[in-house]
Structure 1
Amino acid sequence: MAARLMQFERLKIPELLLVSPKKHGDQRGFFSETFRADSFAAHGLEVAFVQDNHVYSAQKGVLRGLHFQLAPHAQGKLIRCERGAIYDVGVDIRVGSLTYGCHVGVELSAENWRQLWVPPGFAHGYVTLEENCEVIYKVTDYYTPECDSGLAWDDPALGIDWRLAHADITLSDKDRKHPGLARCASSLSLWSVGNL
């Protein structure tokens, strides 16, 4: 039964999963199970979420990221867009991984109802493709300021096409100051494949 309620697709980096919950609708509206532990477990993901975050962005072109938390408070994230549309990106920061420094991007929207699973060992960010976007995401560890870190969204080494011109992107002061991948190498050694 659980498998019919939620579809899972492994992406170019197989640790990143696109999750598509089913919607059951009638004249009243719809019902959808947006997370099921048994469905995740059936795909090898034994996850325990401890915090839900809800983010509103008024403008198109708001970019949040690229964010991650260092050990011992690494976070896995399950992201969905419940209003509007975003381009969501996960970047592999696991030193020694065959896909280190590579990324996958997908569009998540209220219309397509898809979610992206981004495990620990990945940086995450998204840009709003419409005005008035709301994003909800579940995380596997609590926000911990001393472990909070990030990568430059426009690092040429990452080569991310955010689908918008740089002049149309709005960033926080904090996100504007994140270093590139090469400058993060020493802290990222905690993400070596053997440690995950």
Structure 2
Amino acid sequence: MENFLVTDAQLFKRDKRFQLLFRNVGDWGCGDRKEGYEVKRFAEDVSFELSQKAIKQGYNLFDHLLFRSNFYACYAQKEHIYTIDTKGNLLKCTVALYDEENKIGNLDSFVIDDQKQKLWINNYEFSQKCSKYQLLLICKGGACPKRDIFNERTFNEKCQRMRQNILQNFELAILSNKVNYKLKVE
């Protein structure tokens, strides 16, 4: 990626139609791939570091100030957003394609399993721990519903990750000169 920024990406660097968004490759399951199929993944999130480098080289980033919230964390949380697979199954998440919890209905029956759908829609409830969180109004408890449904992260892990994302987004906004700020000392 660093080489890409100084070579090919130069072609659209000054074009306002293009913005960069860095995300690490994630483990979203094997799907139809054979066992042993693996993608090299970094142990640490490198998207923030790459974003910093891109800003310093004059690139524009995509929505670095878009903070996730309970409503906007994921399309699967919205009531009338669906994915239809090749078998006519009605799904909520395009990542958990092969998980039964993701199948909320089928086009043949025209019936939606309300219990399964409720897992995905507005599924986040604030913990008492959240009430003391300084960034609560920005965070709003937004998280990937898949991670909650499949218990992929503890509350503390989700909270720590969200806090890190918010603070990094602020830093990127300041580096980009896209936010006016004034430090207040109390």
Fold agreement, TM-score > 0.5 = no
Bigger proportion of residues as strand: 1
Name the TM-score class by shorter chain. under 0.3
Q: Which has the higher helix share?
A: 2
Give the alignment's TM-score, normalised by structure 1: 0.24
Bigger radius of gyration, 1 or 2?
A: 2
Whose relative contact order is higher, 1 or 2, with alpha carbons under 8 Å and at least 6 apart?
1
Q: TM-score, normalised by structure 2?
A: 0.25
